[in-house]
């Protein structure tokens, strides 16, 4: 049934193309980047994200309808570090849009967990370029926003002043709120917790938390019973209070681990749009910090 | 450094046997082949020796490095990497390589019938079904190249596909929204024909694909343009000019001259919701055959696929319902013309993270073929430990008007190593 609204939207887009001051169309791989682009571009950009916020960005499907979206975009922003390697290359190739600029936002980020030795698929879904979940540190959000501003100016030079203004307020707002989040989390510095997948490394690195184990045996590979037994022991010994999982994780296994150990299962939105109330990049950390302080108390 | 070594070894492993396999086809006399092999072996030995020396030297350098700077481990590793490419050998421009292996075992109540139906090489027992080597790289800013070499269990190597694609050419020779494909490739006919053996949703081809295009599929040297229509949904038109080499549809033997063929394909795709999609396709191919009189051979195809995958459980639940109908005809002057049609409908359901259960029904003979009608029921259970491996067990029951009914059980191991391939939707 959603076909008809999208048809209507298509006609609307087509009609709006006829107007002189049409906004620049931007496509992003994730909803977090879309939120940042929106904050900087305002109404000068029309931005669409391919992955939804409640979806695992590793496992997006390269649907032909996304090919159409990429076909119409002037610029594409992606996370990089091979997060989108399973689907983005096909969308870009299928889009037949060589004039589009592709911007990899990972350049300029201090990447964590870059493997220093050899990597093998026996280690599970390892990312040979490092951990790609870097948007989960608000300091990286500011770096991303600066890069977005710089790139938007190349496709909408006339609006450069607006973008600079928006960047300034984004930076001020994010920094001010970051200090408040840091204060809220200060009592829990060094707290030990367990996470489902290796996706909260940037968050815990920023907040000074300490991940002592993972539910997954290896990244992307479900746990064996033996691994879970060891994990439960570790958690009981260390009196771990919280187990973090993303809202696209199947909660069954983490739930049983939490029940056995008395830890609280904390289901977090790992992207903008992961929960209905999380609409902006700042909302994401409000939600995460709120839940963490509640669980670690 | 280790990555580079791994790639070098892979090259030797791949290029060595491949050149051995290719030589008998290219060379004339047996002696020349043996000489060439001996020479190659000597070269390989020399290379191996050089590599061993190099490894030893590098290990020495590395342990020296490690002693001097133990505190800066990541930096040491980073510094060691350029050392191995210090002589100007860079692997940055090497193609991305992946290898697919298909190992299978099977039992048929009538191996003879199975050979006629789906797999001309079938015998009861285990065999390496096929190995596929895929190489992908950008040629320059304009072209992207793709090679797929298939080695069958008899050791015959073949360039299954080898083509370049482009979305942009100098002087804007290629209009916007258009892509160009040149080389040898699977013709854009329907859904199943575009798949390599390791991508097949079931272990064997649908009966109608087998009947219309043979056990190699419809792959042809040629050129194609495909254009994205400016519609509010995804709609793509493809035209391909092809050699017309397919032996089921166009030629009588490998020696007969191909007379050219033309193909059109129209694909439409709709999002019914975030999790459900619907695809419709129409295909046509036509060209003169090499039979007496050089009359027309043609095929038309219709396909419909519906997919469901809830976004929040993308790795755990999924459903694919695929249907395809093909009608083909091969007109002849003296012998009777052959024509016929058939369809398959298949359902694939992922019910847990690592498990799929699947069913397919094939009906060959609507309208009837020369050898009557065939019904085939197939069920399959797959254990998929990761996106790089799958273990599949399949049962099929076939009954036919002219021929024996047959039960088949097949077990297949399907695996991929090397570069991470993107997944076609």
B-contacting residues in A 189-228 (Cβ below 8 Å):
220-222
The domain segmentation of chain A, as residue ranges, is: 22-177, 180-296
CB contact under 8 A, A116 and B177: no
CB contact under 8 A, A68 and B233: yes
The pLDDT of residue B73 is: 38
DSSP secondary structure string for all residues of A207-273:
HT-EEEEESSSBTTBPPPHHHHHHHHHHHHHHT--EEEEETTS-SHHHHHHHHHHTPEEEEE--STT
Q: A251 CB near a chain B CB, below 8 Å?
A: no
On whether the CB atoms of residues A45 and A67 are closer than 8 A, the answer is no
- Burial class for A117, CB neighbours closer than 10 Å (0-12, 13-18, 19+): exposed
Q: Which residue has the higher pLDDT, B145 or B85?
A: B145
Beta-ladder partners of B344: B324, B362
Contacts of B311 in chain A (CB under 8 A): 52, 54-55, 248
Helix axis angle for A281-296 and A138-155, nearest 10°, is 170
B54: confidence class by pLDDT, cuts 50, 70, 90: low
Task: List, in sequence order, the alpha helices (H) in B166-321.
Answer: 207-213
The pLDDT of residue A10 is: 53
Q: How far is A64 from chain B (nearest CA, A)?
A: 6
Q: A5 CB near a chain B CB, below 8 Å?
A: no
How big is chain A by its Cα radius of gyration, in Å? 20
- Which of 2.60.40.1180, 3.40.50.10800, 3.30.420.40, 2.40.160.10 is the CATH number of B98-418? 2.40.160.10
Q: How far is B187 from chain A (nearest CA, A)?
A: 17
Q: Which of B232, B267, B272 sits opposite A11 (nearest CB)?
A: B232
For chain A, how are helix, strand and coil distributed in percent, rounded to 5? 50, 15, 35
On whether the CB atoms of residues A247 and A284 are closer than 8 A, the answer is no
On whether the CB atoms of residues B246 and B254 are closer than 8 A, the answer is no
Report pLDDT digits (tens) over B172-197: 899 989 999 999 999 999 999 999 99
Report the share of chain B in percent with pLDDT over 70. 79
Q: How far is A268 from chain B (nearest CA, A)?
A: 13
CB contact under 8 A, A52 and B274: yes
Report pLDDT digits (tens) over A164-221: 999 999 999 999 999 999 999 999 999 999 999 999 999 999 999 999 999 998 888 8
- For strands A24-28 and A75-78, give the pairing: parallel
The counts of H helices and E strands in chain A are 10, 8
B61: confidence class by pLDDT, cuts 50, 70, 90: low
ipTM above 0.95, yes or no: no
- Among the residue ranges A56-70, A273-287, B8-22, the one predicted with the least confidence is B8-22
For the residues B1-30, what does the mean pLDDT come to? 45
The pTM for the full model equals 0.81
**Cβ neighbours of residue B396 closer than 8 Å, sequence gap 6 or more:** B204, B376, B377, B378, B379, B406, B407, B408, B410
**How many CB atoms sit inside 10 A of residue B92's CB?**
5
pLDDT at residue B275 tops 50: yes
Please, what is the average pLDDT of chain B? 84
Fold held by A180-296 = Rossmann fold (3.40.50)
On whether the CB atoms of residues B229 and B236 are closer than 8 A, the answer is yes
Q: How far is B303 from chain A (nearest CA, A)?
A: 16
Q: A9 CB near a chain B CB, below 8 Å?
A: yes
- Among the residue ranges A46-60, B43-57, B337-351, B376-390, the one predicted with the least confidence is B43-57
What phi, psi does B148 have (nearest 5°)?
-125, 115
Q: Which of B234, B273, B387 sits opposite A67 (nearest CB)?
A: B234
Q: Which CATH architecture has domain A22-177?
A: 3-Layer(aba) Sandwich (3.40)
Cα distance between residue A274 and residue A31, in whole Å: 9
**Cβ neighbours of residue B198 closer than 8 Å, sequence gap 6 or more:** B100, B102, B130, B132, B414, B416
Q: How far is A164 from chain B (nearest CA, A)?
A: 33
Q: A89 CB near a chain B CB, below 8 Å?
A: yes
pLDDT at residue B123 tops 60: yes
Cα distance between residue B109 and residue B122, in whole Å: 12
Fold: same for A22-177 and A180-296: yes
Q: Which of B78, B273, B420 sits opposite A85 (nearest CB)?
A: B420
The domain segmentation of chain B, as residue ranges, is: 2-84, 98-418
CB contact under 8 A, B420 and A55: no
Q: Which of A10, A62, A250 sits opposite B232 (nearest CB)?
A: A10
CA dihedral B307, B311, B313, B316 (to 10 degrees): 30
Q: A117 CB near a chain B CB, below 8 Å?
A: yes
pLDDT at residue B68 tops 60: no
Report pLDDT digits (tens) over A159-176: 999 999 999 999 999 999
Cα distance between residue A192 and residue A296, in whole Å: 9
């Amino acid at each position: 049934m959603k076909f008809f609204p999208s048809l209507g939207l298509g006609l609307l887009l087509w009609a709006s193309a006829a107007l002189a001051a049409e906004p620049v169309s931007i496509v992003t791989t994730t909803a977090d980047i879309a939120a940042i682009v929106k904050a900087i571009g305002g109404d000068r950009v029309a931005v669409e994200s391919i992955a939804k916020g409640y979806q695992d960005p590793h496992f997006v499907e390269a649907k032909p309808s996304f090919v159409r979206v990429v076909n119409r975009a002037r610029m594409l922003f992606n996370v990089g570090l091979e997060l989108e390697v399973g689907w983005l290359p096909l969308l870009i190739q299928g889009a037949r849009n060589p004039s589009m600029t592709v911007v990899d936002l990972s350049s300029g980020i201090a990447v964590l967990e870059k493997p220093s030795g050899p990597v093998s698929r026996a280690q599970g879904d390892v990312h040979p370029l490092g951990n790609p979940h870097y948007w989960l540190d608000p300091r990286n959000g500011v770096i991303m926003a600066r890069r977005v501003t710089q790139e938007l100016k190349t496709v909408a030079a006339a609006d450069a002043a607006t973008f600079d203004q928006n960047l300034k307020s984004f930076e001020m707002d994010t920094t001010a709120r970051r200090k408040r989040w840091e204060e809220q989390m200060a009592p829990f510095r060094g707290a030990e917790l367990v996470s489902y997948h290796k996706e909260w490394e940037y968050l815990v690195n920023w907040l000074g938390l300490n991940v002592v184990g993972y539910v997954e045996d290896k990244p992307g590979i479900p746990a064996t019973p033996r691994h879970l037994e060891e994990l439960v022991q570790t958690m009981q010994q260390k009196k771990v209070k919280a187990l973090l999982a993303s809202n696209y994780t199947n909660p069954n296994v983490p739930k049983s681990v939490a029940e056995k150990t008395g830890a609280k299962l904390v289901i977090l939105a790992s992207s903008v749009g992961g929960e209905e109330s999380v609409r902006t990049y700042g909302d994401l950390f409000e939600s995460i910090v709120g839940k963490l302080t509640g669980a670690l108390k | 450094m280790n990555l580079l070594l791994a790639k070098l070894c892979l090259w030797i492993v791949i290029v060595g046997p491949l050149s051995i396999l290719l030589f008998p086809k290219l060379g004339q006399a047996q002696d020349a082949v043996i000489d060439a092999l001996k020479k190659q072996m000597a070269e390989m030995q020399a290379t191996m020796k050089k590599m061993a020396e190099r490894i030893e030297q590098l290990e020495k350098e590395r342990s020296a490095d490690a002693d001097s700077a133990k505190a800066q481990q990541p930096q040491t590793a980073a510094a060691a990497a350029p050392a191995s490419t210090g002589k100007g050998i860079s692997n940055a421009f090497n193609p991305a390589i992946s290898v697919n292996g298909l190992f299978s075992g099977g039992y048929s109540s009538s191996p003879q019938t199975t050979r006629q139906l789906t797999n001309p090489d079938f015998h009861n027992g285990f065999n390496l079904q096929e190995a596929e080597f895929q190489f992908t790289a950008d040629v320059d800013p304009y072209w992207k190249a793709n090679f797929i070499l298939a080695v069958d269990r008899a050791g015959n190597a073949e360039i299954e596909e080898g083509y370049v694609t482009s979305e942009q050419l100098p002087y804007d020779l290629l209009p916007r929204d258009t892509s160009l494909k040149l080389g040898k490739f699977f013709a854009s006919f329907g859904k199943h024909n575009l798949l390599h053996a390791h991508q097949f949703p079931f272990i064997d081809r649908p009966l109608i694909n087998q009947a219309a295009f043979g056990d190699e599929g419809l792959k042809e040297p040629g050129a194609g343009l495909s254009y994205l229509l400016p519609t509010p949904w995804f709609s793509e038109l493809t035209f391909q000019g092809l050699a017309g080499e397919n032996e089921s549809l166009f030629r009588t033997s490998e020696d007969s001259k191909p007379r050219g063929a033309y193909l059109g394909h129209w694909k439409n795709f709709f999002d019914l919701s975030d999790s459900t999609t619907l695809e419709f396709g129409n295909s046509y191919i036509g060209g003169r055959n090499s039979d007496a009189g050089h009359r027309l051979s043609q095929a038309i195809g219709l396909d419909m696929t519906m997919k469901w995958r809830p976004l929040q459980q993308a790795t755990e639940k999924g459903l694919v319902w695929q249907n395809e109908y093909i009608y083909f005809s091969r007109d002849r002057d003296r012998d009777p013309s052959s024509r016929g049609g058939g369809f398959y409908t298949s359902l694939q359901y992922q019910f847990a993270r690592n498990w799929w259960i699947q069913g397919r029904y094939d009906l060959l003979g609507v309208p009837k073929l020369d050898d009557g009608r065939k019904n085939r029921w197939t069920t399959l259970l797959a254990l998929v430990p990761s996106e790089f491996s799958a273990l599949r067990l399949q049962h099929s029951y076939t009954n036919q008007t002219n021929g024996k009914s047959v039960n088949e059980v097949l077990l297949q191991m399907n695996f991929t190593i090397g570069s991470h391939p993107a997944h076609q939707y």
